């Protein structure tokens, strides 16, 4: 088993700058990971500021407890979709000045074979970020039907061979239980061939991980809740790593920032009532320099919005 604690934060300065920090503000890091962004935020805040950090992976929270000793930091072991409840219990609804989300998995999660996220190293087929809840990937694959598996792989992985892969999985399970990462990677590699840069199992692993962790629902619920959590001029700074995720962020911001076209001839004071919840502050990609030294940043898209 390999255990690594290193995670190189992506779009570090850009995502923190996007929060437009005020020295005594209250901020949320929704995805603590190994705390790279949290550390950067804390370094720029004053003594009276607060940072509330979430992670649903207990190993991230344990790492934080050992490595961060800062009275301004509150650690919450919870999926970020519960943020509105936690923040409301703290009496902070409508008082949060910025939320940072750096989505997906961390390097320690990927690198530790026993977490089951990697198709490169043998480990139990788990893939849960929160190992205290829900089904592991192996448990789900054992109980799901062929069609359900195919739909997940297609929907969350954009994998054209989804039906073929699902059928192979079910055939394999007639012979023996499907329990490890390399068993699944080998099944997929027999069906998906000829990709130069990407491992054949990349899309299948991504799809199953998204499904097992309900990543898209977590994201869209949290975006909705941010409307009540954020203060006036509070910022959303969100880094996503694949198009399905980015589409959700993009559509949310567009829907909540674009003025609906009103019937012509309405008096000007009626038009003023149509105040939208957010202002769209645009998107950015990682710099060439960053892409050069951190491969993960290649696919990163940062989107920023400000609460009206």
Please report, as ranges, the residues that interact with ligand SAM according to CB under 6 A: 7, 9, 31, 33-37, 54-57, 60, 79-80, 102, 104-106, 129, 218
The nearer residue to ligand SAM, 16 or 153, going by C-beta atoms, is 16
Minimum separation from the CB atom of position 50 to ligand SAM (A): 18
Minimum separation from the CB atom of position 295 to ligand SAM (A): 14
Minimum separation from the CB atom of position 218 to ligand SAM (A): 4
Q: Which residues pair with 230 in a beta bridge?
A: 96
The nearer residue to ligand SAM, 56 or 162, going by C-beta atoms, is 56
Structure tokens at 295: 């491969």
Minimum separation from the CB atom of position 101 to ligand SAM (A): 8
The residue at minimum Cβ distance from ligand SAM is 33
The nearer residue to ligand SAM, 40 or 200, going by C-beta atoms, is 40
- Identify whether the C-beta of residue 10 lies closer than 8 Å to the C-beta of residue 300: yes
- Identify whether the C-beta of residue 112 lies closer than 8 Å to the C-beta of residue 2: yes
d(CA 155, CA 162): 9
Residue 18's SS3 state is coil
Residue 279's SS3 state is strand
The nearer residue to ligand SAM, 123 or 200, going by C-beta atoms, is 123
The nearer residue to ligand SAM, 112 or 256, going by C-beta atoms, is 112
Structure tokens at 80: 């970020």
Minimum separation from the CB atom of position 198 to ligand SAM (A): 19
Structure tokens at 117: 């996220």
Q: Which residues pair with 299 in a beta bridge?
A: none
Backbone φ, ψ for residue 52 (5° rounding): -110, 120
Structure tokens at 280: 């769209």
d(CA 117, CA 134): 16
The nearer residue to ligand SAM, 204 or 297, going by C-beta atoms, is 297
The nearer residue to ligand SAM, 7 or 161, going by C-beta atoms, is 7
Residue 172's SS3 state is helix
Minimum separation from the CB atom of position 172 to ligand SAM (A): 29
Q: Which residues pair with 29 in a beta bridge?
A: 53, 100
Question: Which residues have a Cβ under 8 Å from the Cβ of 132 and sit 6 or more positions away?
Answer: 58
Minimum separation from the CB atom of position 176 to ligand SAM (A): 31
Structure tokens at 298: 């290649």
């Amino acid at each position: 088993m390999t255990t690594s604690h290193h995670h190189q934060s992506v779009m570090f300065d850009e995502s923190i700058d996007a929060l437009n920090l005020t020295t005594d503000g209250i901020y949320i890091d929704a995805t603590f990971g190994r705390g790279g962004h949290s550390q950067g935020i804390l370094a720029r805040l004053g003594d009276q500021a607060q940072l509330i950090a979430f992670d649903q992976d207990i190993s991230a929270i344990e790492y934080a407890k050992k490595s961060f000793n800062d009275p301004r930091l509150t650690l919450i072991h919870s999926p970020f979709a519960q943020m509105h409840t936690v923040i409301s219990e703290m009496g902070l609804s409508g008082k949060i000045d910025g939320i940072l989300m750096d989505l997906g998995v961390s390097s320690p999660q990927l690198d530790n074979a026993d977490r089951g996220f990697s198709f490169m190293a043998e480990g139990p087929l788990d893939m849960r970020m929160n190992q205290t809840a829900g089904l592991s990937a192996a448990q789900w694959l054992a109980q799901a039907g062929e069609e359900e598996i195919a739909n997940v792989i297609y929907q969350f992985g954009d994998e054209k061979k989804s039906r073929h892969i699902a059928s192979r999985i079910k055939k394999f399970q007639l012979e023996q239980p499907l329990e490890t990462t390399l068993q699944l990677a080998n099944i997929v590699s027999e069906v998906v061939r000829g990709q130069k840069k990407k491992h054949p199992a990349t899309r299948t692993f991504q799809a199953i991980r998204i499904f097992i962790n309900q990543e898209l629902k977590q994201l869209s619920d949290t975006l909705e809740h941010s409307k009540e959590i954020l203060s006036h001029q509070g910022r959303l700074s969100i880094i996503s790593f694949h198009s399905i995720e980015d589409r959700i962020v993009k559509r949310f911001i567009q829907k909540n920032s674009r003025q609906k076209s009103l019937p012509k001839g309405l008096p000007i004071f009626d038009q003023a009532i149509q105040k939208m919840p957010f202002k769209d502050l645009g998107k950015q990609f990682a710099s060439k320099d960053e892409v050069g030294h951190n491969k993960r940043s290649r696919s990163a898209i940062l989107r920023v919005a400000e609460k009206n």
